[in-house]
Each structure stands twice: as C-alpha cells, then as structure tokens.
Amino acid sequence: MPAIAHASVGRSGLKVSRLCLGTATLGGQCDEDLSFRILDHARELGISFIDTADKYPLGSGYEEAGVTEEIVGRWIASRRPDVVVATKVHGPTGTMPWNGGLGRRHLREAVEASLRRLQIEAIDLYQLHRPDPSTPIEETLETLTDLVREGKILYAGCSNFLAYQLALALGSSDLNGFVRFTSVQPRYNMLFRQVERELLPLCEEKGIGVVTYNLLAGGMLTGKHDPTRPPDPSSRFATTGAVDIYRERYWHDEAFAAVSRLTQVAERLSLTLPTLACAWVLHQPTVSSVLLGATRPEQLDLPFAALEVSLDDATLQEIDGITRVFRQGDAVQ
C-alpha cells in the first residue's frame, strides 16, 4: 500500500487521508461486486477515509436507503483498524414525519441503524447531511453531544450548511458547552466556488476542517461531455434521480466554455483535467480532504495523481480568471 499524505481535520485530533472515497454510487450505479472492487482499489492507492450516508445510494427512495452503508459495512468488516469511517444523517428512512431530519428521536434511531449496517462500534465522523429548519439547532447539538459521550460517534460534522448556519451552530456549541462541529462538507469545485466568499474564511477562522465533494462537477470536469450531443447514458446528467439537479448546475454554456479553457491549461501542464481539478482543490488551505466518487475503479487514478502536482502562482491566477464567475456575488472591485 503506497504512502499517502494525511491531514488533521481542522484543529481536531482526527487525521484523514487527503483523498476520501465517496460512496454515493455504491449499491445503485454499482452492484456489490463492482463496489468492492472500487473500495479495494481505493485502499491499494492508500485512501483510508471513506464517506457514506444513511440515505445512499444516490437518488434512491427510503426503501433502498442504507444499502450503501451495508455494502461498506461488509467490506470494512476485516479492515476496521485501517479506515476512518464517516457517514451522514438527515434523509427519510420511513413514511412518518419523525423518520427524517435532525430531531432527537431520528438522530438516535439513525445512528443505531448506521452502526448496525456498518458493523462498527463507533462512527469516526457523524455528519448532518443538511440543515433541518424544523428542529432547533440546540436540540440537534445536544443529541450529538450525548452520542459522543456514549461513544457511539467520535466527532460531529455538518454538510451543505451555509456560512451563517455554521456560525449559529458554532455559537450555540460555545454558549451551551455542546460538541463542536469538527468539519463541514460543502460542494466545491472549479465550476462552483461560492463557498470561497464566506464559508471557507469562516472555517479558517474557527478551525473547522473542510471535506469537499462533487470534485468533478458530476463529470463535467472530466472534459468528456459535448454540448452538441446528449450526455453519456451512464453519467449523472442522464441517470440516477439527480439528473435535473446536475443539468441545472452544470449543463450550460458558461460551464462548457470554462471546461474548454481549463482543458487547455491541463494539456499545457501535461495533466488530465481531473488531475488538475483535484490539485486545485487540494491547494486551498482550508481543505483537509477531497471526496472522490467513482463508478469504475480506474476513475480514481487521475484525481489520485494530483497528490504529486504543485501549481505555481501564475497557473492559479489563470485558473482563477477562467472560473471566477462561478464564485457568484463577489463585490465589484
């Protein structure tokens, strides 16, 4: 197993590999055999950080929710000492109003179900998948605090929180002595940079680790898509329950124009576009780890190569000029 760089998650004692295997495709687009091959290849590369969620596979209803955790659980059964396991909670697990969200009952039921499916005694990083405006953040944080004290989870994090939501949660933790978020997991890539305006500076100030997802913008940053042709039938722009979301996010002229220019930058550096995209995110100082998703084992190789890439200031400035429009909302300079 090759050596791979590790980093602390914010100002915590949690150490993770700089690359993390995201598992949203496992059990959906990928059957169990293929899922195991992807997991095996990640470990061969030295990736020891695995991120999942109780609602996965991506695009599934509550009837299929948990299938991904079950697959991950069977895979890590003999590998537990060698991996850091993160999962997320929020999505519906049934038809009743309390079968979802971030209320006390659902959190307690969900963590027990995740522990059972993952076949582990404690979850290394337990993340709120998204905010729940119907539940006071104090109730959620108090429950997470209890779960840490009981040894069911080791660290708590959040995902898809806006900067003000994270700030309110941190303030509540400090005021009430609740567990503090160790990490935040935002969508972040060259074609979606809004988090740079407020969320990332807040994380740097408060010592919160950043674990990014959606590195390749649903596949747009592979450079394989052509705006004059229908998307590849196996891509997120054509399959899974998230087709409309991904088309709205990335299937537009500005994105295709940026991808064309970024491809030229990558070629000049003798890199692939996925490698450049990953190297750019890893360069951001608040980023602890970058999630990599895959539907085939070999898809992990190109982003993995980014660990050996150093981008100079001129290249970073060029990329910023190409993609700055995707920050959206910057003050006029």
Instruction: Characterize the bridge pairing of strands 19-22 and 15-17.
Output: unpaired
Q: Is the pLDDT higher at 240 or at 187? A: 187
Find the helix or strand (DSSP H, E) in which 157 lies: strand 153-159
Identify which of 36, 56, 14, 29 has the alpha carbon closest to the alpha carbon of residue 211. Answer: 14
Confidence of residue 332 (pLDDT cuts 50, 70, 90): very low
Q: State the catalytic residue, choosing from 56, 155, 213, 246.
A: 56
Angle at 179 between CA 174 and CA 181, to 5 degrees: 90
Confidence check: pLDDT of 233 > 70: no
pLDDT beyond 90 at 214? yes
- b/e 19-34 (16+ beta carbons within 10 angstroms → b): bbbbbbbbbbbbeeeb
Map residue 19 onto helix, strand or coil.
strand
Q: Which residue has the higher pLDDT, 228 or 116?
A: 116
Amino acid letter at 167?
A: A
For 238-283, write each residue's pLDDT tens digit. 666 677 788 778 878 899 999 999 999 999 999 999 999 999 999 9
* Predicted TM-score of the model (pTM): 0.94
pLDDT at 330: 56
- Find out whether the peptide bond into 57 is cis, omega within 30 degrees of 0: yes
Which of 195-199, 224-228, 232-236, 251-255 bottoms out in mean pLDDT, i.e. has the lowest?
232-236
Structure tokens belonging to residue 322: 């190409």
For the 6-219+277-300 domain, the top CATH level (class) is alpha beta
Write down how long the chain is.
Answer: 333
Closest CA to 21 of 43, 45, 44, 51: 51
- pLDDT one-digit tens code per residue, 67-122: 999 999 999 999 999 999 999 999 998 889 999 999 999 999 999 999 999 999 99
Query: Is residue 56 annotated as part of the catalytic site, yes or no?
Result: yes
Among candidates 294, 283, 281, 218, which has minimal Cα distance to 255? 218
pLDDT greater at residue 245 or residue 292: 292
**pLDDT of 223 above 60:** yes
The confidence band for 32, taking pLDDT boundaries of 50, 70 and 90, is: very high
According to the model, what pLDDT value does residue 212 have? Answer: 99
Sorted by sequence, the CB contacts under 8 Å of residue 271 that are 6+ apart come out as 279, 305, 309
pLDDT at 326 over 50: yes
Q: What is the CA radius of gyration of the chain?
A: 19
Q: Per-domain residue ranges for the chain?
A: 6-219+277-300
